[in-house]
Structure 1
């Protein structure tokens, strides 16, 4: 009897030790997974934030350059370029904030997310519309050079910029009205279950149908105008009365506008593309693809305008490089002092 009790007690101790070892191993595995997840998020945060800050710095310097000299402030195409850069910079800032919130797994409330995405939508519409107006300006400059100064004036350009923002604001207001039709009062809480994005704020079939229809209309219209301007410039370049050098530059500029429009269109397919990918891959693979596609589709296309125009334009390039070098020297001096 005594031996049986001793045997039972030893068996019980072995069982307890086994349970303890299993719990310790499980806790070690859990801690290791949490550490890997945390490390991956930190690396993603760093690798995406640093390029974004660099491009925001370049965009800010480019906009400062376009306001530093009267020749830029009083030239219509530079006024339009400033408007394009401003919209792209706002879009980049908001996209970066929403991406970092998703990386940190922070979910917002519907009112906060709605406010952020409405600002993003406003800038998203401005970019293709500005490209449309810039293409028309180049078309008039080549095809109607004698009337260019009378048609493309400072006042007309500023009125066109105001019209662009008014049209985009009207689109934004329509989206808000459709959003208010969603029965939020039936929700238990205003806390979002998904991460904040413009796609997550398309609540209800009417909002989705309107957004899809408007996006198609916007990019088809801009594409038709830019392509028509390009064909008109090519036709004018063949005539003997047209300045061949000016026509060639205008043709290359319009090709650049077409590429920029395609890049702007790529940002609109980002969220639908994610919805398709998440259905066919695992969650871990999707998380990595999400980061890669964000850099490829959102980050780089938004930053190309300032680099392309800043390095391509003979008037802007020396001033931009000078301002960039001065700002970098100032930052280095501040870092050395600290």
Structure 2
């Protein structure tokens, strides 16, 4: 038990004391990337609420929930990164609010992908029952269940923290900058994370692959709409790719901790920044943009909104 309470390798101290120009370069790169994707995702969210048809279609409602979670997860991520770049330390409880919000949103995306896959399966394999199964109300209930499950996951982590505080003497003052690794430092959280992530992504993976196999089998029948089945298969494949990207982002801490044991301080900083962009920012932003451009109903409205806002900004500058 004591081995599970010992703090893991502290990677945060390894990120300090590096070249300030290099930190500035990576900081501007990451800040610009997050702001760009945040802007695009906000326009996409606005697009999904700009027409009544998007508010009444189950797949668009689910897509809105997916993008909403992925978009607003970037806000605390950006705050944590800016605090790290500026080497600013905040109280343990303030750090906990930011970290718990990030962890809370992390579970929303894979669970929403599972519901979206089931929706595509029902639309192709049971088209006559789709309108009665995936109504606006039932879709809202499914989204509420996803967010509730994620909230329960956070409560479990909070109870674990309270238990640790009551069992052992822990320093509540952050010695380094705020991060998920620095907040959940006891090894017991590493073991819990491994079990939870493995169970979650295995379950969601089975749901997506099962839906894909079901749609593929139905697509072979002569009575099936081939074009609709083909689009559903492409969407389910995109769900699986998105799930893989989200899984990779969930392994960010594990990858960084493993690399921290083998490289020096300056090399770790570069790897950390590159992994932050590729594993944290891109999976949560690029995938949702692909969804918007792939959907034939959303794409023209999305491009119009993006272009109109760009033209408006140009006119205002003039």
After TM superposition, the score normalised by the length of structure 1 is 0.85
Equivalent position SS for 1:132: helix
Match of 1:23 in 2: none
Match of 1:57 in 2: 39
The root-mean-square deviation of aligned C-alpha atoms, in Å, is 2.0
Structure 1 residue 66, shift from structure 2 partner: 0.3
Match of 1:331 in 2: 313
Counterpart among 88, 111, 117 of residue 106 in structure 1:
88
Matching of residue 46 in structure 1 with residue 28 in structure 2: yes
CA distance in 2 between counterparts of 1:295 and 1:234 reads 35
CA distance in 2 between counterparts of 1:310 and 1:183 reads 45
Match of 2:172 in 1: 190
Matching of residue 259 in structure 1 with residue 241 in structure 2: yes
Distance 1:275 1:36, change over 3 A: closer
Structure 1 residue 36, shift from structure 2 partner: 8.5
Distance 1:192 1:127, change over 3 A: same
Counterpart among 151, 158, 180 of residue 140 in structure 2:
158
Counterpart among 254, 262, 267 of residue 272 in structure 1:
254
Match of 1:174 in 2: 156
Match of 2:204 in 1: 222
Match of 2:193 in 1: 211
Tell me if structure 1 keeps the 8 A contact 2:18–2:265: no
Select the structure of larger CA radius of gyration.
1
Higher deviation after alignment, 144-153 or 53-62: 144-153
CA distance in 2 between counterparts of 1:108 and 1:212 reads 28
Structure 1 residue 207, shift from structure 2 partner: 3.0
Structure 1 residue 193, shift from structure 2 partner: 2.1
Match of 1:128 in 2: 110
Higher deviation after alignment, 203-212 or 84-93: 203-212
Tell me if structure 2 keeps the 8 A contact 1:184–1:190: no
Match of 1:91 in 2: 73
Match of 1:249 in 2: 231
Tell me if structure 1 keeps the 8 A contact 2:107–2:150: yes
Distance 1:184 1:195, change over 3 A: farther
Equivalent position SS for 1:142: helix
CA distance in 2 between counterparts of 1:44 and 1:254 reads 35
CA distance in 2 between counterparts of 1:185 and 1:216 reads 28
Gaps of 5+ in 1: 1-34
Distance 1:45 1:205, change over 3 A: closer
Tell me if structure 2 keeps the 8 A contact 1:41–1:104: no
Structure 1 residue 239, shift from structure 2 partner: 1.2
Tell me if structure 2 keeps the 8 A contact 1:237–1:247: yes
Tell me if structure 2 keeps the 8 A contact 1:122–1:172: yes
Identify the structure with bigger relative contact order (alpha carbons < 8 Å, sequence gap 6+).
Answer: 2
| Displaced runs of 4 or more, over 6 A | none
Write out per-residue CA displacement over residues 295-321 of structure 1, whole angstroms, 9 at most, x where no aligned residue: 111111111133201211111111111
